[in-house]
Amino acid sequence: MSKELTSQEQLNQIKNSLIDPLACELANKVEWLYLEGLSTTTSELYPVAVLGEGPPLLMLHGFDSSFLEFRRIFKLLKNKNQLIIPDLFGFGFCPRPNNVEYGLEKILNHLNQLIINCSKNEPVGIIAASMGGSIALELARRKPKGINQLLLLAPAGLANSQKKIPWPLDQLGTCVLRQPFVRKSLCRQAFANPSKSVGKAEEEIASLHLTVPGWRRSLASFARGGGISNLGKAIPNQPIEVIWGKQDRIIKKEEREKSMKLLGKELNEIDNCGHLPHLDKPQIVADYWQSLHKHAKQF
């Protein structure tokens, strides 16, 4: 019986054969960190792509995704920022320890450890997509001096109520989510114009991490705990900008408007853009970040 590959071994095995050359380039920037208080063995290492120079910028992906979400934008930002692009705890190519409940507190603890390791004690900016947007808001609340500004891209989990998925429905959900036709459908749904934007490269990246040991177990635990929800209040004091895709088919218009009402902001939508502005419109997102960074109040 062959030995199961670790998440690190899996990524190292595939990173140079990825169809998307930008994904290949970003994957080759990944470092594997031992995080004090989180790693339980010397071989339990956590992935984070670190590149560029300048003020540190943390980039957070969405649900059941990975750091490769930022493959189309990292080159637009790396000349003015040190980019810190991790996989969230329990997602992507992170190790998935046994006997752990996966949820918000573990994710925040993981991010705190990463910031300590990577930011050189400087205040950190955040660009966060989908579920990562709610996580970014909570991190900013807890670190008012450590986080200096936020750009949220189609943030999920701001206005929706918590829904815990009991056993065995949690197990059923992961079985469904693993099916190739479901992965393909979700990938297409995330883009504004899937007939032009989604091909073999996008479909490959959407499913790369499904073979990571513990994928099913960690997602089921996350679902049982209620996932990420209802994090739109209270509003952090840091400067916040929010961008939505006008053709977002993941988060409906009603929820977008409710989320912005919680944040006390007008709905800001980009045309010809879906749920992933950083993939559909990377240059626009990069320009928004530079504008926010230029005018942000220093903390």
Domain assignment of residue 152, yes or no? yes
Has residue 2 been placed in a domain? no
Domain residues for the domain of 243 are: 7-295
Half-sphere exposure of 5 (CA within 13 A, CB side): 13
- Report the percent of the chain where pLDDT is more than 70: 98
Work out the pLDDT band at 293, boundaries 50, 70, 90. confident
Kindly state the percentage of the chain with pLDDT values over 90.
89
Q: Is residue 63 in a domain?
A: yes
Number of domains in the chain: 1
Query: pLDDT tens digits for 109-123?
Result: 999 999 999 988 899
Do the domain assignments include residue 1? Answer: no
In a domain, 192, yes or no: yes
**pLDDT tens, position by position, 16-70:** 999 999 999 999 999 999 998 899 888 899 999 999 999 999 999 999 999 999 9
CATH number for the domain spanning 276: value is 3.40.50.1820
127 located within any domain: yes
